[in-house]
Amino acid sequence: MTKEIKVADWLPQGIVATLTACSIALTAPAMAQETYPSADDTLDWTIAFGPGGGNDIMARTIIDILTKYDLYPGDISAENRAGGSGAVGWGYLFAQDGDPYGISTTSGSFVTTPLQADTPWQPEDFTPVALLATDDLVLVVNGDSEIQNIAQFIETAKAEPMNIGGTGTVNVDFIVPTLFAEKAGFEFDYVSFNSMADQTTALLSGALDSMVGNPGEILGLIEAGELRPLVYSGNSTPAALGDVPTMGDIGFGIGVSMPRGLILPPNVPAAAQEWWIGTMQKVVETPEWAEYIASNTLTPTVIYGEDFRSFLVETKNGFETVLKSVGAID
């Protein structure tokens, strides 16, 4: 401010007035052109995993809320771009650098995939909107299995290693049973899938001994008796799982949760990031969002913008330490 006043002091008043008028003339149209979002542009929503999984459920829940409450003015096109533990979908979003009409939901793989694959992106490269919730996993067996509880599972696994299925490769679905097995003293073979639907089919058909999954994704099968829950990785067991113990309850707590959030491509205009932060503040206050949190046994954990970026960096560093300690990555 001081420098501008001194320059104006020695400029002729006519020139100062002309420069001011030009500045106003140039600024007004530019600001008008920055209106976001435009009803003419379709929002390209990337879901980095197949249909039916936690990432897919969260994305489509948000889209339904945006639509119901007219929070987004244009069309929304949701596409499942599965593959490579999320690398395909988030790689697609990364390539939309600067485009505010690309968007995606995140999961644990968003943090872990770059730790074990040669991705051109890191979690902190994207424009952060919000961390919306965290969730934990339940270990289940086929409802017809002879294994009735977690004590029997551990005893059986100690005698002969079993396989455990999960979505993705070196991610939270891998970290949770790995840490649990290390603490409980058994070994297992991890089998990765691109979608919850595929791994559930494998378990029900007898191709898998067990699997881990988000309770909300498989609660219907648990309630129907087709899957039997044995242990929960969170701090307290959701009411929907009844008297299933937590890993901490039996002395093998691991302290790992999956972050679920919303991101835009790298380098989008600040106005777009701010618009989405404001919009998600409305979304999380709706009864539909509260129902989603409850029915999917999630923990509402909401932080916005750059605080979310810091959270992602801290989480990545923590996961990296865990994965290196078990020899999953170098």
pLDDT on residue 249? 97
Q: For residue 276, what are its two tokens?
A: 């989405």
pLDDT one-digit tens code per residue, 118-135? 899 999 999 999 999 988
Predicted confidence at residue 26, as pLDDT, reads 39
pLDDT of residue 17: 40
The rounded percent of the chain whose pLDDT value lies above 90 is 67
Residues 48-64 have a mean pLDDT of: 94
Structure confidence at residue 34 as a pLDDT band (50, 70, 90): low
Domain spans of the chain, in order of start: 43-134+257-325, 138-241
Degrees to nearest 5, angle at CA 166 with 163 and 172: 120
Topology (CATH) of 43-134+257-325: D-Maltodextrin-Binding Protein; domain 2 (3.40.190)
198: confidence class by pLDDT, cuts 50, 70, 90: very high
List, for residues 233-273, the tens digit of each pLDDT value.
988 888 889 999 999 999 999 878 788 999 999 999 999 99
43-134+257-325 shares its CATH topology with 138-241: yes
Residue 140 near residue 229, CB atoms below 8 Å: yes
What pLDDT, on the 0 to 100 scale, is given for residue 301? 85
Over residues 165-188, mean pLDDT: 90
- Mean pLDDT for all residues in the chain: 88
Does residue 281 carry a pLDDT above 60?
yes
**Strand ranges across the sheet with 227-232:** 188-193, 162-167, 210-213, 138-142, 227-232
- What pLDDT is recorded for position 96? 98
State the pLDDT at residue 53: 84
- Tell me: the pLDDT tens digits for 123-175? 999 999 999 998 889 999 999 999 999 999 999 999 999 999 998 777 788 88
Is residue 12 pLDDT above 90, yes or no? no
Return the higher-pLDDT residue of 31 and 328: 328
The residue ranking higher by pLDDT, 89 or 240, is 89
pLDDT at 224: 97
Range in 12-16, 284-288, 319-323 with the lowest mean pLDDT: 12-16
One-letter amino acid of 209: D
Helix axes 54-68, 215-223, angle to 10 degrees: 100
Given CATH 3.40.190.10, say whether it is the number of domain 138-241: yes
pLDDT at residue number 217: 84
> Where is pLDDT greater, at 74 or 237?
74
| Geometric angle at alpha carbon 102, from 199 and 75, rounded to 5° | 95
| 245 close to 148: Cβ distance less than 8 angstroms | no
**pLDDT class for 11, splitting at 50, 70, 90?**
very low
What pTM did the predictor assign?
0.71
